[in-house]
Amino acid sequence: MTGFASREARAAFIAGLPKAELHLHIEGSLEPEMMFSLAQRNGVSLVFESVEAIRAAYDFSNLQDFLDIYYQGMAVLQAEQDFFDLTTAYLDRAATDGVRHVEIFFDPQGHTARGVPMANVVGGIARALTEAEERGITSQLIMCFLRHLPEADAEATLDAALPFLSLIHGVGLDSSEVGHPPEKFARVFARARSLGLKIVAHAGEEGPPDYVWQALDVLQVDRIDHGNRALEDAALVQRIVSDGLTLTVCPLSNLKLCVVDDLAQHPLRRMLAAGLRATVNSDDPAYFGGYVNANFVAVADALNLTRDEIITLARNSFTGSFLPPAEQAVHLAAIDSFVATY
Ligand code: HPA
Ligand code: ZN
């Protein structure tokens, strides 16, 4: 028994649940329409002739296929206003999905390498986050290092971010995983931690369980992004459970990047059953076909998730956030009262 009369009833329940999103690359929320309009505004020429041609190109067979297009797309982002517009569009969209809190990744090296100042990037994103706070969505910003680049580039990026540290809550690790293990970034993450920043890392998306061990033991992560392949190692699962770490799982991303062949084989239920604190997130919604509720609905339909499993996922999104416990408690109470009226 799932506790719902129909799929539609389950989707309506998901839509109304208060939730947090903990794995969202702001550059991955760049919809083709905005890519086109920013290209015009900034005089950037795109290799694509139309919005339809862009969407048609979003057919990926692995992470690298996607990243090649993702880095091309972000070239339209230049001015502070561009980053503000991008972030505002995401926050407006997230609000319609019942998102109350977001922890947003950004990839400064994708911009500074093109000559865009760090101030444009952080300034525009942070201005949008401040405005959204007035509309009831809280947020934190997580700066990611691109793991296909040398650690020295990550060090320089952390240096460039020092004037903006009051706006940045944590650091993460993303981009091409295989061949770029977490230990490559041991020193820069140690420095970030000594600066008081939270630590997260993409691990076990395509990379082996050993990369998840390194994220834990070398980087000392506060949360794991994806973590799918941790399930291949029972001792690793035990370690993540006993440390109480949250996994930010991204079902439609996993499907589009061929991390899973079919959502019916998605490990989300197995993660919950193993005692892992899994959450549902959209990763790069403009590229993977859906925002957070679409991810919830797709995986809930494929796995026939129960009401209790869905509630657990929503609760995990707040308990796994970097919000202070008192604020988490307010959101958990909002989930309880939503559930009670249902
Ligand atoms: N994995 C690694 N790097 C990324 C991703 C992802 O899912 N999205 C944006 N950068
Ligand atoms: Zn990601």
**For the chain, what percent of residues have pLDDT higher than 70?**
100
Q: Which atom of ligand 1 is nearest to the CA of 250?
A: 7
Beta bridge partners of 278: 247
**CB 263 less than 6 A from any atom of ligand 1:** no
Q: Do the beta carbons of residue 18 and residue 338 sit within 8 Å?
A: yes
Q: 195-204 pLDDT, tens per residue? A: 999 999 999 9
Mean pLDDT, residues 61-88 taken together: 98
Which residue among 104, 106, 174, 282 has the greatest number of ligand 1 atoms within 8 angstroms of its CB, and so is best to mutate? 174
Q: 113-128 pLDDT, tens per residue? A: 999 999 999 999 999 9
In this predicted structure, the answer to whether residue 1 has a pLDDT above a threshold of 70 is no
166 by Cβ neighbours in 10 Å (0-12 / 13-18 / 19+) ranks as: exposed
> Which residue owns the Cα nearest ligand 1 atom 2?
175
Give the model's pLDDT for residue 68. 97
Flag whether 35 is in a domain.
yes
283 CA to middle of ligand 2, Å? 5
**CB 253 less than 6 A from any atom of ligand 1:** yes
Flag whether 1 is in a domain.
no
CA atoms within 13 A on the CB side of 167: 20
Give the model's pLDDT for residue 67. 98
Which residue among 22, 67, 176 has the greatest number of ligand 1 atoms within 8 angstroms of its CB, and so is best to mutate? 67
Q: Do the beta carbons of residue 104 and residue 139 sit within 8 Å?
A: yes
pLDDT tier at 2, thresholds 50, 70, 90: confident
Residue 55 corresponds to which tokens in the numbers above?
Answer: 């969407």
Give the model's pLDDT for residue 109. 98
- Catalytic amino acids? 205
Flag whether 340 is in a domain.
no
16 CA to middle of ligand 1, Å? 28
**CB 197 less than 6 A from any atom of ligand 1:** no
18 CA to middle of ligand 2, Å? 22
Give the model's pLDDT for residue 342. 86
Q: 205-227 pLDDT, tens per residue? A: 999 999 999 999 999 999 999 99
**CB 283 less than 6 A from any atom of ligand 1:** yes
User: CATH number of the domain that 14 lies in?
Assistant: 3.20.20.140
Q: How far apart are CA 318 and CA 279, in angstroms?
A: 9
6 CA to middle of ligand 1, Å? 34
What is the chain's mean pLDDT, rounded? 98
Flag whether 218 is in a domain.
yes
Q: 310-339 pLDDT, tens per residue? A: 999 999 999 999 999 999 999 999 999 999
Flag whether 100 is in a domain.
yes
Residues within 5 A (CB) of ion ligand 2: 283
Mean pLDDT, residues 46-68 taken together: 96
Cβ neighbors of 65 (< 8 A, separation 6 or more) are 257
Q: How far apart are CA 128 and CA 315, in angstroms?
A: 26
Torsion, Cα 139 223 217 192, to 10 degrees, reads 0
Q: Among all ligands shown, which has an atom nearest to the Cα of 175?
A: 1
**Model-level pTM?**
0.98
Give how many domains the chain has, as a whole number.
Answer: 1
Mean pLDDT, residues 147-174 taken together: 98
Q: Which atom of ligand 1 is nearest to the CA of 70?
A: 9
**CB 225 less than 6 A from any atom of ligand 1:** no
**CB 207 less than 6 A from any atom of ligand 1:** no
Q: How many C-beta atoms lie closer than 10 Å to residue 43's C-beta?
A: 7
Give the model's pLDDT for residue 135. 87
Lowest mean pLDDT among 43-52, 285-294, 301-310: 43-52
Domain enclosing residue 315, as ranges: 7-335
CA distances from 22 to 50, 77, 192, 282 (A): 31, 23, 19, 9
Q: How far apart are CA 282 and CA 294, in angstroms?
A: 8
Flag whether 341 is in a domain.
no
Mean pLDDT, residues 4-13 taken together: 97
